């Protein structure tokens, strides 16, 4: 997810790429084997394993004070808008703490579960200190509320450019992902939050194939409010984000939860286009970033996402 210090990366990037550099040196010749291993690993638990990523979701980071003053009230508002899943930031590499507001975090999990909603934890690593990144990822996965309730899944936010060299950045992203998968085992659902394939320029040779070994769901940050405008522009851009992932993995069935543009900057036509693209391309879920700036009309226009799976 886009922390405030990294938001400028989206503004600074240029026009849409016709095709990402993508797999590069990271095993494209073995793509079929990797996809096969992924399907074999995930087939045992069935569709329910990644159900948290289905349908309508919403996002909550550490930078908006209002929801954290009353997590129960925030959850109630999300539930009233038929939200399936809350994606919540537990920390990032620049913070001193391992878990953000653990007391309030526990209250949020318990309130969401009481409403039969899932909660997915996400963490932004730097890839400069893998030991710290792993420790904080493990802490999110193991976090328990006072009544012993946990997050329903964990997603790694793979977007930091703190490591300049692309080869080193890829290697560390893959290494951290492998360590997280080893920690949780085969049956635990993991999501990969990734830069938008159709528009980003700052991470060439993104290692889709290698990451597919470790993650069950891809969540592209398709922030169209930084990339394009109007109904047709957003429709094409969102479809392209979904299709590029499928093309890079040679797998039309790869689970994708697509994240749309900043809620406070989107127009009604653009939100309609985002929803239409997600439905047309059979994404498993969708959401806008983020909850505190959602408008009532945006919740209404997102309702068709409830039927995705």
- Please, what are the domains in the chain? 4-307 (3.20.20.80)
- Residues 136-171 pLDDT 10s: 999 999 999 999 999 999 999 999 999 999 999 999
Distance CA 212, CA 204 (A): 17
pLDDT at 47 over 80: no
pLDDT at 42 over 50: no
Element (H, E) at 12: helix 8-12
* CB distance 303 to 56 below 8 Å: yes
**Extended strands (E) in the chain:** 55-60, 85-92, 118-124, 153-157, 190-195, 217-221, 257-262, 285-289
pLDDT of the residue at 49: 86
Element (H, E) at 273: helix 268-280
pLDDT at 135 over 60: yes
Which residues lie below 8 Å from residue 263, measured CB to CB, with a gap of 6+? 288, 289, 290, 293, 294, 295, 298
Helix (H, G, I), strand (E, B), or coil: what is residue 113?
helix
pLDDT at 13 over 70: no
Distance CA 203, CA 18 (A): 15
Which sign does the torsion angle of CA 250, 189, 174, 97 carry? positive
Mean pLDDT of 197-222: 97
pLDDT of the residue at 1: 57
Which sign does the torsion angle of CA 41, 45, 49, 55 carry? positive
pLDDT at 271 over 70: yes
Mean pLDDT of 35-57: 65
Q: Is 99 left (phi over 0), alpha (psi -120 to 50) or beta?
A: beta
CA neighbor of 20 nearest in space, from 232, 269, 288, 207: 207
- Residues 59-112 pLDDT 10s: 999 998 999 999 999 999 999 999 999 999 999 999 999 999 999 999 999 999
pTM more than 0.85: yes
Mean pLDDT of 42-46: 43
């Amino acid at each position: 997810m886009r922390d405030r210090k990294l938001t400028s990366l989206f503004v600074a990037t240029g026009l849409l790429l016709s095709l990402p550099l993508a797999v590069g040196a990271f095993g494209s010749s073995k793509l079929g084997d990797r996809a096969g291993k992924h399907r074999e690993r995930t087939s045992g638990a069935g569709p329910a394993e990644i159900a948290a990523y289905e349908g309508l979701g919403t996002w909550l980071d550490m930078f908006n004070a209002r929801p954290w003053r009353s997590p129960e009230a925030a959850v109630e508002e999300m539930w009233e808008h038929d939200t399936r899943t809350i994606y919540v930031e537990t920390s990032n590499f620049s913070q001193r703490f391992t878990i953000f507001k653990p007391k309030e975090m526990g209250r949020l999990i318990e309130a969401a579960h009481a409403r039969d909603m899932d909660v997915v934890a996400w963490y932004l690593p730097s890839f400069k200190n893998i030991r710290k990144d792993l420790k904080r990822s493990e802490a999110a996965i193991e976090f328990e509320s006072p009544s012993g309730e946990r997050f329903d899944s964990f997603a790694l936010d793979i977007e930091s450019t703190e490591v300049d060299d692309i080869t080193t950045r890829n290697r560390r992203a893959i290494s951290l992902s492998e360590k997280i998968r080893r920690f949780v085992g085969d049956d635990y659902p993991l999501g990969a939050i990734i830069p938008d394939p159709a528009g980003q320029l700052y991470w060439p040779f993104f290692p889709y194939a290698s990451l597919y070994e470790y993650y069950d769901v891809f969540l592209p940050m398709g922030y169209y409010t930084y990339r394009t405008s109007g109904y047709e522009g957003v429709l094409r851009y969102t479809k392209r984000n979904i299709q590029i992932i499928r093309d890079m993995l040679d797998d039309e069935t790869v689970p994708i939860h697509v994240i749309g543009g900043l809620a406070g900057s989107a127009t009604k036509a653009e939100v309609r286009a985002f929803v239409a693209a997600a439905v047309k391309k059979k994404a498993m879920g969708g959401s806008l970033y983020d909850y505190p700036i959602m408008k009532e009309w945006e919740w209404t226009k997102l309702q068709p996402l409830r039927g995705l799976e």
